[in-house]
């Protein structure tokens, strides 16, 4: 029996997730299908009209246990050969933790950490040699961030998890790349900041989603464990390694 060669993308309906789907549809002609996951069914339907590659759409929340179980059953039923897994689903909320919305704070952990981990665990048995996993983290993973406390912590988890998993999967010939961009021009910031003004530093370092995804795909193809777009974020990564976090935190302004 010939297995379907597929890619799986979470958070596929908008932002970087959508951009990953668009670029993979162009670059990976040998894929039989791209499985796209998002909470918003109507957005997935629109996405299917924008690409020539066959999409299989799954409208569910990756933090929901029942939905995850259904997806695991679909994987078992189809038994595909997953060549690419791109964990892009995630969100952040700006503001002080103590006064933040409880559901939002816990939800970030559920989606950014639990959902990513669950999807990865259930997909791995269907991945073969030279398959790739791309986990979208953030430059926020390099240092704690006041007013983004939970979000930065979840992305630090994604980075640590990705690096460890990359080492574990070495003998299987499967690579894991953590993508750690700075601010990217997507709807993410509309969700994160609501009516708050986006801080000046973030506005000045905004990157283009298309370019970030292009670099991520290239770095993953080279089996790089880390993909950091832009000189400024590369400098920040080095600074976060060399300087005490206490000093970095003292430089961060809560308001801009």
Give per-residue burial for 217-251: e unless 16+ CB within 10 Å, then b.
bebbeeebbebbbbeebeebbeebeeeeeeebeee
pLDDT of residue 242: 85
- H/E stretch holding 131 reads strand 127-136
The DSSP bridge partners found for residue 84 are 7, 132
Residue 92, classed as helix, strand or coil, is coil
> Between β-strands 33-38 and 55-59, what pairing exists: parallel, antiparallel or unpaired?
parallel
Which among 165, 185, 192 has a CA at the least distance from the CA of 176? 165
Average pLDDT value over all residues in the chain? 90
pLDDT of residue 16: 94
Among 41-50, 63-72, 184-193, the minimum mean pLDDT is found in 184-193
pLDDT of residue 196: 56
Average pLDDT on 172-178 reads: 98
Could you tell me the strand order of the sheet in which 5-10 lies?
A: 55-59, 33-38, 5-10, 81-87, 127-136, 175-179, 226-227
Give the rounded percent of residues in the chain with a pLDDT score beyond 90: 75
Among 105-109, 112-116, 224-228, 241-245, the minimum mean pLDDT is found in 241-245
Q: State the sign of the Cα–Cα–Cα–Cα dihedral 28, 31, 36, 42.
A: positive
Instruction: Grade residue 256 by pLDDT with cuts at 50, 70 and 90.
Output: very low
Instruction: Grade residue 29 by pLDDT with cuts at 50, 70 and 90.
Output: confident
Average pLDDT on 246-255 reads: 71
pLDDT of residue 2: 82
In terms of DSSP H, where are the helices of the chain?
15-27, 41-50, 65-78, 102-109, 116-123, 149-168, 188-193, 200-204, 209-221, 231-242, 245-251
Among 23-32, 94-103, 245-254, the minimum mean pLDDT is found in 245-254
Give per-residue burial for 27-47: e unless 16+ CB within 10 Å, then b.
eeeebbbbbbbbbeeebbeeb
């Amino acid at each position: 029996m010939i297995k379907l060669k597929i890619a799986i993308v979470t958070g596929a309906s908008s932002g970087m997730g959508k951009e990953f789907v668009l670029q993979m549809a162009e670059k990976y002609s040998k894929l039989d299908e791209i499985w796209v996951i998002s909470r918003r069914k109507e957005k997935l339907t629109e996405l299917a009209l924008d690409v020539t590659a066959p999409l299989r759409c799954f409208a569910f929340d990756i933090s929901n246990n029942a939905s995850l179980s259904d997806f695991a059953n679909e994987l078992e039923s189809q038994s595909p050969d997953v060549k690419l897994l791109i964990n892009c689903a995630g969100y952040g909320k700006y503001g002080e933790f103590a006064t933040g919305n409880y559901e939002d704070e816990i939800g970030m952990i559920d989606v950014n950490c639990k959902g990513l981990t669950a999807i990865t665990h259930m997909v791995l048995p269907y991945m073969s040699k030279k398959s790739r996993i791309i986990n979208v983290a953030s430059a926020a993973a390099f240092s704690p961030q006041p007013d983004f406390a939970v979000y930065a912590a979840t992305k630090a988890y994604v980075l640590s998890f990705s690096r460890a998993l990359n080492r574990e999967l070495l003998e299987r010939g499967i690579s894991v790349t953590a993508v750690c961009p700075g601010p990217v021009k997507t709807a993410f910031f509309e969700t994160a900041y609501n009516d708050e003004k986006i801080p000046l530093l973030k506005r000045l370092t905004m990157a283009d989603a298309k370019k970030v995804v292009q670099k991520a795909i290239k770095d993953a193809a080279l089996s790089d464990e880390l993909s950091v777009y832009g000189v400024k974020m590369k400098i920040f990564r080095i600074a976060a390694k060399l300087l005490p976090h206490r000093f970095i935190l003292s430089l961060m302004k809560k308001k801009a």
